[in-house]
Amino acid sequence: MEHNDAVRLQAVEKYILGELSPAVRDEFETHYFDCAVCSFNLRAGVAFAAGTRQLFAEAPARVRREHSAGWFSWLRPMIAVPVMAVLLFVIGYQYVSSRSSSEVEAWYSLSDSSVHGSSGTRIEARRGQGFHILFDVLPAPQNPNATLLVEVQDVAGRTVLRKSVSALLAQKSLILDLPADFKEGEYKVVVFDLASGSPVRLEQLTFTVAFSS
């Protein structure tokens, strides 16, 4: 897939929304790792989805808490948001709100410090629906020919998901697809470098999965 094809197909948007066929999805993933523009747009789209999800979850409580100070007082922090972000918010909300929630695949960024707590990123997933997580491996592996092992481990240290990726791909954000039968609880993503023959831990990120009501 060439970049012009990705733009014409609106591949970034459709990838996030789960609208690409398996074949086109594979083509886009190959292109994404070589294209700085699509890489940036995908990261921005995932961050936007996570941010709007958190904003809509917090807005009702914020309105009730600050109602005595004026109906629009909860919007004051948004004044500082760049105009482009506001436009993206409006366009994105109009598009997503026109679809049922079961049609839109959920994405979460483990690199978004604004939603981190003591148990890492909190993921409010829908029961019986898969979701995706995006994260960076820091520091990035220096040997592009090395193989990395990515594991998702539960609170007891059991590996519930395992994936091998090349270090070259890990120089950009990695994506994990978590299945619909994924269970609630605390987890961690652990990345190992296998170049030396024995696993060397490069990165560890924690997250908590809780099913939304």
Q: What is the per-residue pLDDT for 83?
A: 45
Q: What is the mean pLDDT of the chain?
A: 74
pLDDT at 58: 54
For the chain, what percent of residues have pLDDT higher than 90? 18
- Per-residue pLDDT tens digits for 56-93: 555 555 555 555 545 445 444 444 444 445 445 444 54
The pLDDT score that the predictor gives to residue 80 is: 44
Structure-block tokens of residue 81: 């948001």
Tokens encoding 116: 């981190």
Q: What phi, psi does 90 have (nearest 5°)?
A: -65, -50
Tell me the C-alpha distance between 171 and 74, whole Å: 39
Does 174 have pLDDT greater than 70? yes
Which residues sit opposite 192 in a β-bridge?
Answer: 149, 201
Q: What integer pLDDT is reported at residue 205 of this predicted model?
A: 92
> What average pLDDT does this structure show over 182-209?
90
Yes or no: say if 103 and 16 are a contact pair by the CB < 8 Å rule: no
pLDDT band at 105 (very low <50, low <70, confident <90, very high): low
Residues 118-154 have pLDDT tens digits of 567 888 888 888 888 888 888 877 787 889 999 999 9
**pLDDT for residue 192 is more than 80:** yes
Domain boundaries, the chain: 1-104, 106-213
Q: What is the CB-side half-sphere exposure of residue 166 using CA atoms within 13 A?
A: 6
Give the length of the chain: 213
pLDDT of 115 above 60 = no
Q: How is residue 72 annotated by DSSP?
A: T
Contact 62, 54 (CB under 8 A): no
Evaluate if residue 112 carries a pLDDT over 70. no
Q: What share of the chain is helix, strand, coil (3-state, %, to 5)?
A: 45, 30, 30
Q: Are 94 and 86 in contact (CB under 8 A)?
A: no
Is it true that domain 106-213 has CATH number 2.40.10.10?
no
Q: How many CB atoms lie within 10 A of CB 131?
A: 19
Q: What are phi and psi of 105, to 5 degrees?
A: -75, 140
pLDDT at residue 82 in the model: 46
**Paired tokens of 197:** 């023959």
Spatial contact of 166 and 137, defined as CB atoms under 8 Å apart: no
